[in-house]
Amino acid sequence: MTAPQILTILGSILFVLGGLATFVIAYRRGPGSWEEQLDKDARKADRSRIPSVFTRSKAAEVPEPTVESLPTSVAVAVVEEPVEKVHSVVELSASEQGVNRRQFFNRALAASFFGTLGTFGIASLAFSWPKVSGGFGSDVSAGPVQAIKDAIAQPDGTITPFYLPAAKAWIVPVSDSVLPNSQFAEDLTVADGLTALWQKCVHLGCAVPWCQSSQGFECPCHGSKYNQIGEYEAGPAPRNLDRFVVEVDAKGEFIIKTGSVIPTERAPVKSVKYPQGVFCTAAAAE
Ligand code: FES
């Protein structure tokens, strides 16, 4: 798994968790929730515990009864009662009050939500960003041409194709005697006597292995067969194996351009002898 894919998965998980946390907190703090009820109760308790300035102020506005306005018996009682002192109140500015609990949680929630959203966005961007080098879809070097040819040629005159996993390709030789009469004489799929075949079967996409005894490619899924340069020979496959544009660079390395796939129709005339021995898979109906 590539780094962008891992980032995308992590971003998605964080995004889902962030959304879930947002929903849960919003639900718990919503109308009728126990937290809201708790807040109401706490405020009510606070009001009853702290002397209310406004209540006192209103009380202060009520005209004090005078001794003259009351009956004698009541006036004596009023005069003797101690006068309660009205508390003074200093109003605090917003900066002096600081951040309350509700504001703190709201800001933390917003920060985590946008942080998660940002992570998800960056991961998505990294996943969609085109690869500039290495891996399937770009130019892949198979190494020095001569080393590949040496690995392919066998002492008994047969060949064993050179497989390059990074390009998902089989590299096979196309000799100068074969090339002019093949379908590939005019395209860019042969360089320095080598061509690169995509290992994917053109029928339904199975990986096609090499069969040393028949000197061809035989698909294990439905039995399609291709000769050693990838020309269609038998089975349900609709065309030859697809091939890539190739070149030899300044350092003498064989480069496979896996972003440039060249499909070709079934060859009307086969360029190489096939089979050259027994098949590895059973023959399939065409
Ligand atoms: S996938 Fe290869 S023959 Fe069907």
Q: Is residue 195 domain-shared with residue 122, that is, in the same domain?
A: no
Q: Tell me if 205 is assigned to some domain.
A: yes
Per-residue confidence (pLDDT) for residue 94, from 0 to 100: 72
Q: Is residue 95 domain-shared with residue 178, that is, in the same domain?
A: no
pLDDT digits (tens, 9 = 90+) for 6-19: 777 777 787 778 77
Q: Tell me if 256 is assigned to some domain.
A: yes
Q: Is residue 143 domain-shared with residue 257, that is, in the same domain?
A: yes
Per-residue confidence (pLDDT) for residue 225, from 0 to 100: 96
Q: Is residue 122 domain-shared with residue 144, that is, in the same domain?
A: no
Distance 221 CA to ligand 1 centre (A): 5
Ligand 1 site-directed mutation target among 206, 225, 233, most atoms within 8 Å of CB: 206
Question: Nearest C-alpha to atom 1 of ligand 1 is from which residue?
Answer: 204
Q: Tell me if 274 is assigned to some domain.
A: no
**Tally of domains in the chain:** 2
Going from the C-alpha of 272 to that of each of 7, 58, 200, 232, 282, the distances in angstroms are 48, 110, 21, 11, 21
Question: Per-residue confidence at 80, pLDDT binned at 50, 70, 90?
Answer: low
Q: Distance (Å, rounded) from C-alpha 275 to C-alpha 286?
A: 17
Q: Is residue 38 domain-shared with residue 155, that is, in the same domain?
A: no
Q: Which of 5-14, 84-93, 113-122 has the highest mean pLDDT?
A: 113-122
Query: What is the mean pLDDT of the segment spanning 59-65?
Result: 56
Per-residue confidence (pLDDT) for residue 90, from 0 to 100: 75
Atom of ligand 1 nearest to the CA of 224: 3
Q: Tell me if 200 is assigned to some domain.
A: yes
Q: Which domain holds residue 110?
A: 3-51+87-128
Distance 25 CA to ligand 1 centre (A): 54
For the chain, the average pLDDT equals 82
Q: Does residue 57 surpass a pLDDT of 90?
A: no
Distance 175 CA to ligand 1 centre (A): 28
Q: Tell me if 252 is assigned to some domain.
A: yes
Torsion 165-166-169-170 (CA) sign: negative
Could you tell me which residue, 54 or 172, shows the higher pLDDT? 172
Query: What is the mean pLDDT of the segment spanning 221-247?
Result: 96
Q: Distance (Å, rounded) from C-alpha 237 to C-alpha 206?
A: 11
Atom of ligand 1 nearest to the CA of 235: 3
Ligand 1 contacts (CB < 6 A) are 201, 203-204, 206, 219, 221-224, 235-237
Q: Is residue 114 domain-shared with residue 171, that is, in the same domain?
A: no
Q: Is residue 145 domain-shared with residue 256, that is, in the same domain?
A: yes
Distance 172 CA to ligand 1 centre (A): 21
Q: Tell me if 77 is assigned to some domain.
A: no
Going from the C-alpha of 217 to that of each of 180, 209, 228, 274, 285, the distances in angstroms are 22, 6, 7, 10, 16
Q: Is residue 15 domain-shared with residue 121, that is, in the same domain?
A: yes
Q: Tell me if 154 is assigned to some domain.
A: yes
Q: Is residue 47 domain-shared with residue 149, that is, in the same domain?
A: no
Could you tell me which residue, 1 or 145, shows the higher pLDDT? 145
Q: Where are the alpha helices (DSSP H) in the chain?
A: 3-28, 34-49, 53-61, 72-80, 94-97, 101-128, 145-152
pLDDT digits (tens, 9 = 90+) for 24-51: 766 665 555 555 666 667 667 767 765 5
Distance 201 CA to ligand 1 centre (A): 6
User: Among 120-134, 176-190, 215-229, whose mean pLDDT is lowest?
Assistant: 120-134
Atom of ligand 1 nearest to the CA of 284: 3
Q: Give pTM, 2 decimals.
A: 0.58
User: Among 26-35, 38-47, 209-218, 241-250, whose mean pLDDT is lowest?
Assistant: 26-35
Per-residue confidence (pLDDT) for residue 19, from 0 to 100: 75
